[in-house]
A and B are shown apart, each in its own frame.
Chain A
């Protein structure tokens, strides 16, 4: 499923009128009320086409200050993108494991190395079992 499709699904709202300023008037499911929202898909393909994401392999570009400096050079006129209607977070892939940083912070480097070794041993034991099961 493409990103665009996922966004459409997640909104789950009925679009009623397209406003001239790029916003849409939409009906909120449930209470039936309406609200104005920006058409973000249009913004992404036109208005925000200059946005560049940093290369994850470029360690320097991950530096906070540099990220800000880069962004500052390419500012458009300030504009608040206002309200968005996203009712669920199911299209976010949750690949982040940042919370485990806290767990890592509790252990010393030596302990982490030992734990890693132990986990590797357990993994290889598990692989051996799977391999044997294949031959049964």
Chain B
């Protein structure tokens, strides 16, 4: 079992999120108070030393990113404004927009936790996987958008954040957080890049990247991952897992037990 720093929805964090959620229903994502909430979350997760700046930036080319050199998380305000516009036009419910925002926020927070894992633990396996992921990103053709969702650290951040928000919605059903959409959100990230147009990638995500970027075979046997970790880091999944993932994708109902 690999020890990694992860989100743990304990009572205190749950309370912060409950309060934050109520606040977001009536207020802007980029308000001063909202940024204060994000700081509380970072403090609760004990990662403030890795990210003590929260920036909302309109000129960002991505929806968000974590910069370890400047200890900052940057969120694309333009993206949030587009969602707000869709809300103003009655296309989206506020709850859905909050799910999107929180998933984006916790995606970046997961990158901080990955960085913390790399920095504070001596676990060779997880450090290897995260380092390989960084290396593959460097050599990837930057014009090729498709690869981005297949890098192990991105898969981990996508699924972890989607799962975290789903668990939060599940634990606080009285909130009307739209559990159904939180579930669809999780399924979207569980299958992103791996299942396209109803077809499963013919090999694991990491093998696919090695084939395409290095022209080499990735030897998964060197890494002793369990069934859950195989999903989180894009390694080869069991036949049963593939069936359940595909069924989740087709039915938009979670058919897979993941942590």
Chain B positions 132-170 with a Cβ under 8 Å from a chain A Cβ = 132, 134-135, 137-139, 141-146, 148-149
Most chain A CB atoms below 10 A, which of B61, B141, B149, B215: B215
Counting CB contacts under 8 A, is B104 at the interface?
yes
Interface readout for A58-97 with B: 1 if CB under 8 Å, 0 if not? 0000101101100110111011110111111111111111
What's the dominant secondary structure at chain A's contact region? loop
Residues of B within 8 A of A14 (CB): none
What separation, in Å, do the CA atoms of A81 and B206 have in the docked complex?
A: 13
Give Cα A106 to B252, complex, Å: 13
Q: Is B69 an interface residue (CB 8 A)?
A: yes
Contact A115 B85 (CB under 8 A): yes
B259 interfacial by beta-carbon distance below 8 Å: no
Closest to A38 in B: B135
* B residues adjacent to A (C-beta < 8 A): 60-69, 79, 82-83, 85-86, 89, 91-92, 96, 100, 104, 107, 111, 118, 128, 131-132, 134-135, 137-139, 141-146, 148-149, 185, 188-189, 192, 196, 201-203, 208, 211-219, 222
CB pair B92–A80 under 8 Å, yes or no, is: no
Residues of A within 8 A of B64 (CB): 99
Q: Interface residue tally of chain A, by bracket? A: 35 or more
Checking B86, B138, B192, B208 against A107 with a beta-carbon cut-off of 8 angstroms, the contacting residue is B86
Q: Residue of B at shortest CB range from A6?
A: B138
User: Which residues of A have CB within 8 Å of B69?
Assistant: 88, 90
Report whether B100 and A102 are in contact in the complex, using a CB–CB cutoff of 8 Å.
Answer: yes
A54/B144 contact (C-beta < 8 A), A79-B216, A83-B128, A94-B62 known: yes
Q: Flag if B68 contacts A80 (CB, 8 Å).
A: no
Q: Are B212 and A68 in contact (CB under 8 A)?
A: yes
Q: Find the A residue at minimum CB distance from B196.
A: A64
Q: Does A125 contact B (CB under 8 A)?
A: no
Task: Knowing A79-B216, A119-B85 are in contact, say whether A86-B144 is a contact too (CB < 8 A).
Answer: no
Complex-state Cα separation, A19 to B62, whole angstroms: 39
Contact B202 A90 (CB under 8 A): no
Provide the residues of chain B in CB contact with A90, threshold 8 Å.
67-69
In the complex, the answer to whether B142 meets A95 with C-beta atoms within 8 Å is yes
* Least CB distance, B140 to chain A, in whole angstroms: 9
- Nearest CB of chain A from residue B93's CB, rounded to whole Å: 10
Q: Are A102 and B135 in contact (CB under 8 A)?
A: no
- Which A13-65 residues have C-beta < 8 A from chain B? 40, 44, 48, 50-51, 53-54, 56, 62, 64-65
